[in-house]
Amino acid sequence: MIFARSAARALSTPSSSRLFSASAAAHTKVAVLGAGGGIGQPLSLLLKNDPLVTSLSLYDIRGAPGVAADVSHVDTASEVKGYAADQLDQALEGVKVVVIPAGVPRKPGMTRDDLFNTNASIVRDLAAAVGRVAPDAHILVISNPVNSTVPIVAATLEKAGAFDPKRLFGITTLDVVRAARFLSGIVEATPNETPVTVVGGHSGATIVPLLSQSPHGKAVKGEKYEKLVHRIQFGGDEVVQAKDGAGSATLSMAYAGAKFTNSLLRGLNGEKGVITPTFVKSPLFADQGIDFFSSNVELGPNGVEKIHPIGELTAEEEKLLAACLPELKKNIEKGKAFVA
């Protein structure tokens, strides 16, 4: 279940579904930039199925009109429109939330940072267009390396005088989804009983699961703990290797992207207590020169409502954080330098 319970109820009762969509209409035009890709296509399908999305704008340099024609036949209330390569500005008109999965994925043997040279300019150019056409939009960045692409979007918007830190999010939800799933397998519970807060960034050692803060997670010790942490940090590699040159996680990422988008929309619509980890401009480690960090964030009518501190850590988690911070700092600086 990726949607809130109230939303799921609305889906199953046509009359309340219509009502729900109508009341949310003013706030819920969502654009997907990179909608023709491995993530973009299933993400567009899942967003079409979210009752909080009333209008879906699908853009890609290739294939988006076809994806839009296909997805638009799904019998939910939202409108869908596809835009061709030269129609980016039209795709962004009136959009409240922009989700960006545009860019190349990894092949075996590559790190996420190896994608920087290709994806940095893609993300920069898309961010510049959002700043120009939809300066009040919330921007959700999926394109890797997230630790660098989010600072790239921020710096690009800053240049354009359109940066609001409350409206920029790096999507780290897949790490949270994986952590819950992998932990559930070890402790024989269901994943919704085993949520895990994951902080830091989105690559290898910068992914820091705080298992001690999870009632089930704190019971996992020794070698089992080491293996679980490694699997959460390097879960992306498992998929890259299994796909054997055909890309990285797309379906689980689409799920995670739709899940985060739904959380944001619930916050924007005034629901209280919507809290999830996301990579945002953050004061938590700013004194160490690290001004983007993922921790639990409460989402509200303006986007970021409250950035929660990371809480108490065990000695093992302190070590993980110590390994995370210098790498994260480097990744962030690389992103900023690209725009400067």
Contacts with ligand OAA, residue ranges (CB under 6 A): 105-106, 112, 144, 174, 236, 239-240, 248-249
Q: Helix 173-187 and helix 235-243: axis angle, to 10°?
A: 90
310 belongs to the binding site for ligand NAI (CB under 6 A): no
Cβ 123 to ligand NAI, closest distance in Å? 8
Smallest gap from Cβ 124 to ligand OAA, in A, equals 19
Cα-Cα-Cα-Cα dihedral of 249, 183, 283, 330, to 10°?
-50
80 binds, among ligand OAA, ligand NAI, none (CB under 5 to 8 A by kind): none
Which of 92, 100, 3 lies closest to 53 in space, CA to CA?
Answer: 3
The answer to whether 202 is a known catalytic residue is yes
Query: Which partner, ligand NAI, ligand OAA, none, binds residue 240 by CB below 5 to 8 Å per kind?
Result: ligand OAA
- The amino acid sitting at 321 is L
Q: Catalytic residue among 27, 73, 138, 202, which?
A: 202
Residue showing tokens 């400067």: 340
Which of ligand NAI, ligand OAA, none interacts with 250 (beta carbon under 5 to 8 A by kind)? ligand NAI
Q: Report the partner that residue 61 touches, choosing among ligand OAA, ligand NAI, none (CB closer than 5 to 8 A by kind).
A: ligand NAI
Q: Which is nearer to ligand NAI, 202 or 281 (CB)?
A: 202
The response to whether 144 counts as a known ligand-binding position is: yes
Work out whether strand 168-170 and strand 138-141 pair parallel, antiparallel, or are unpaired. Answer: parallel
CA distance 235 to 253: 12
Q: Say whether 246 counts as a known binding-site residue.
A: no
Complex with ligand OAA: residue 149 or 184, whichever CB lies closer: 149
Q: C-beta of 222: minimal distance to ligand OAA in Å?
A: 26
With 0-12 / 13-18 / 19 or more C-beta atoms within 10 angstroms meaning exposed / middle / buried, residue 209 is buried
Tokens in use for 41?
A: 């296509």
DSSP string, 111-167: -GGGGHHHHHHHHHHHHHHHHHH-TT-EEEE-SS-HHHHHHHHHHHHHHTT---GGG
Catalytic residues: 202
Using CB under 6 A as the criterion, which residues of the chain lie in contact with ligand NAI when the complex forms? 33-34, 36-40, 60-62, 101-106, 115, 119, 122, 126, 142-144, 146, 171, 174, 202, 247-250, 253
